Structure 1
Amino acid sequence: MAHYTDQITATAAAAVMNGLTLRGLAGTEPPTRTAIEAVLRRVLTPNPGLAR
């Protein structure tokens, strides 16, 4: 992921994907594509409110 974004964002996205995978395996129903997209968009979209 670091090839496509900065290292911190790549680490966060990888952690989120691991969590979503585990949640899908351990839960009774896997997360929907819409739910996965929403979470990844939140992690991968810059938040201008957090700019320095």
Structure 2
Amino acid sequence: MKYNHLPLKRAGRPEEVAGVAFFLAGPDATYMTGSVLTVDGGLTITF
């Protein structure tokens, strides 16, 4: 599969997505409420 349409030119690795999940589940995210973190390799900025 080609990823030329993505700014990073590659698919995300599971550990990259897992890092965000661990952050959200951990103590550093205790002050976050109602936020959306988009982990898509920059896909949404191409629209």
TM-score, normalised to structure 1, is 0.34
If asked which structure has higher relative contact order (CA below 8 Å, sep 6+), I would say 2
